[in-house]
A and B are shown apart, each in its own frame.
Chain A
Amino acid sequence: MIKFEIDLFSDTNTNPSLEMRQAMCAAEVGNEVAGEDPTVNKLIETVCDLLGKEAAIFLPSGTMCNGIAYRVLCQRPGDLIILDKTAHPFIKSSLISGLAQAQPYCVEGKRGIFSAKQIESIISAPRRYNISCPRVVSIEQTTNFGGGAIWPLKTIEEVCSLAHHYGVYTHMDGAHLLNAVVETGISAAEYSSQFDSVWIDFSKSLGAPIGTVLAGSRAFIDEAWYYKFQQGGGLHQAGILAAGCLYGLQHHYQRLPEIHSYAKQLAKLLSDVPFLKIDPDEVQTNIIIVEVNHLQLSALHFEQALRERGIRVLALDETHIRMMTHLDISLSDIRMVFTTICEVGEEKLITKAI
């Protein structure tokens, strides 16, 4: 297995600390599928309080949260799920059609964020037997492939009230919701209040190895249990995992501002590099998407050259690189990444000049 000295590929790539492991291994456990795991139950209560929701369910992954929420909210095969063209559940898997038997309806948002105006025509279209029915509006807070942008509360309120006015459900993929919370000071409950379903992830910035919690009304969660079984998400002694999640919330949550500051510093440094294009003011959280405008090197070339130097980034396409800061990234790592990117880019330019 390749070990990268600096891994900016994803904030899922964090190694649980010894303290987190100790908390996990000391966890009190029970049979999770029967609702008998005390640590899972504690995590669920904690998340209900945090998100201001009536009920919640523990699941192994964010993709399962999205899949289950869509299946509960959609009523008929062919229903439309409205989301941004960069939304993770649309880009990264075939679950919308393959599993939920729904259709994605993609909106051209700006950095993953769309307005109520943009979805008004599809949402308000007359319901007819020969037209697909819009059933769910799904947003992602923060926008992953939109560069970690934060959905403003006002936009959320406008989108959700429009949706609800027309009887359309609302769902928030909150994989990075807590990143938005620490940045804006708006509580997770405020962000969540307009949504019929919402989930948060503990294996991203909070550094737990596995774990997500999906929340909503009691009736919604009762239905979600049905699909949890169907999708193989019923676990046995899951308290060990839940203990990692609780530890992350208690001990790593306060580190999020620091993680964001590293991303912002890196963005600022990179904004001065002539062959890269990035507006540092757009970096709001821990995700950086930088455009490569190099004469000889594409984003894929950079990915490869950095990989050879022990640094991992993700080339999204020929011209864009994504980098994510997380718990295991230090300020000196940021400087090293900056220096190495400059070296890679300049080396090639010099070689060409000679």
Chain B
Amino acid sequence: MIDLRSDTVTKPCDQMRAYMLQAPVGDDAYQEDESVNLLQDYCKSLFQVEDALFVTSGMMANRLAFMSQTSPGDEVITEYSYHVNFFDSAPMSAIAGIVMNPRHSIDGILRLQDVEQALDSKQRYDYFAQPKLISVENSINGWAGKIFPLETLKSLYNFTQGKGLSLHLDGARLFNAHIATDIALHEYAKHTNTLSVCFSKGLGAPYGSMLMGTKETINKARKYRIWLGGGVHQTGMQAAAAYYALNHNLDRIAQDHQLAQYFAKLLLKIPDISLHDDTIETNMVQFRLNCSIKSSAYFLDQCTKNGLLLFPWVPGVFRAVIHKHITRQDLEQAALIIQNIFSEIEASLTSNRNSA
């Protein structure tokens, strides 16, 4: 089975498992887990941030970022397609109690003008929703792994500071952006109030995300982490896996990016498919079906039957994510499977026409 649904499907390698085996542990609920502390300290220096908090998942990291920088009834400005809104708006409203003001930008990048429009889109009397947080994403999942430009991040950061607005960066795939652009991780971090990164995507660790920011904000997040049930005990083995991944799997992400470009080229040869965005910047390809195929579900089902797993985004649009288990041959095979499905459909349509 060629699994292109997500880079979260990666399994820990033997060396990572061996490294986990020897990890010293303690009770992280009381900040006594040596391996967690080591990972948090390592991230503090790598990202040059004041404080870092290891949490169970990216969803928890983003939830905590919102909860620690807003109060119920506050407004968060973001782009419609970003994970915090596209997938996560229900919990953001149910748990953080915030109201989203999602913008439809022209290309998935939330620019200063979009934010300004959002700010001016409503009355702002004291007793109405107050904008408190801007949330961006890098790389942008809903736009096939597009990179959020550093210059835009800088302009948002400069705009927000001193205005009672915070800037959060959901960096679930920031490592992909970092490898693709060669911009230092701390350079991204410098222009945010909080950022989250995920170890269980391209880096291939089994679990865990890191939320980073000032001591004050992270202390609040630590409290909310207990509320949500993210206070765990001996999580050092998981932290060790993340530490291993940071030190061994970061550079290999470049291969995923090359393969994604290769896969895009293969897909472009299939006439019934168009790419959602022509420039493949990181490890994802999104494509749209142009033909009179019965339904997305039918296409997905045919792919699965032939050994290819894809992630259905919205009807007619599919996402393929390249990760460490995927080879060039897998992608050639994947393109062939897709091509064959179209050929069969074409053939059956022709025969139907002939028999009619």
Contacts and interface: CB of A to CB of B under 8 A. Distances in A.
Contacts of B200: 236-237
Interface in B8-67: 8-12, 17-18, 20-22, 25-27, 29, 32, 34, 37, 55-57, 59-61, 63-64
A153 interface: no
Contacts of B232: 60-61, 203, 210
A240 B57 contact: no
Main secondary structure of the interface of A (DSSP, over half): loop
B234 A60 contact: no
Contact of B21 (A22, A93, A94, A210): A22
Nearest to B204: A237
Interface in B217-236: 226-236
B183 interface: no
Interface stretch (B90-98, B174-182, B324-332): B90-98
B56 A235 contact: yes
B63 A231 contact: yes
Interface in A225-255: 229-241
B58 to A, nearest CB: 8
B207 interface: yes
A31 B230 CA distance: 19
A231 B37 contact: no
B226 A63 contact: yes
In this complex, which of A67, A98, A210, A235 has the most chain B Cβ atoms within 10 angstroms of its Cβ? Answer: A210
A232 B227 contact: no
Interface stretch (A10-18, A284-292, A338-346): A10-18
B206 interface: yes
Contacts of B231: 61, 63
Q: Output the residue of B6, B12, B61 with the most chain A CB within 10 A.
A: B12
A237 B21 contact: no
Contacts of B61: 232
A10 B32 CA distance: 13
21 contacts: A2-B32, A13-B26, A14-B234, A24-B20, A24-B21, A29-B12, A31-B8, A59-B229, A60-B232, A67-B228, A203-B232, A209-B237, A210-B233, A210-B234, A231-B95, A232-B59, A233-B60, A235-B57, A236-B57, A240-B238, A241-B207
Given A31-B6, A230-B91, A240-B238, 18 more contacts: A13-B233, A15-B234, A16-B25, A16-B237, A18-B21, A24-B20, A25-B18, A60-B56, A64-B229, A93-B226, A209-B25, A209-B236, A231-B229, A231-B230, A233-B56, A234-B57, A237-B200, A241-B207
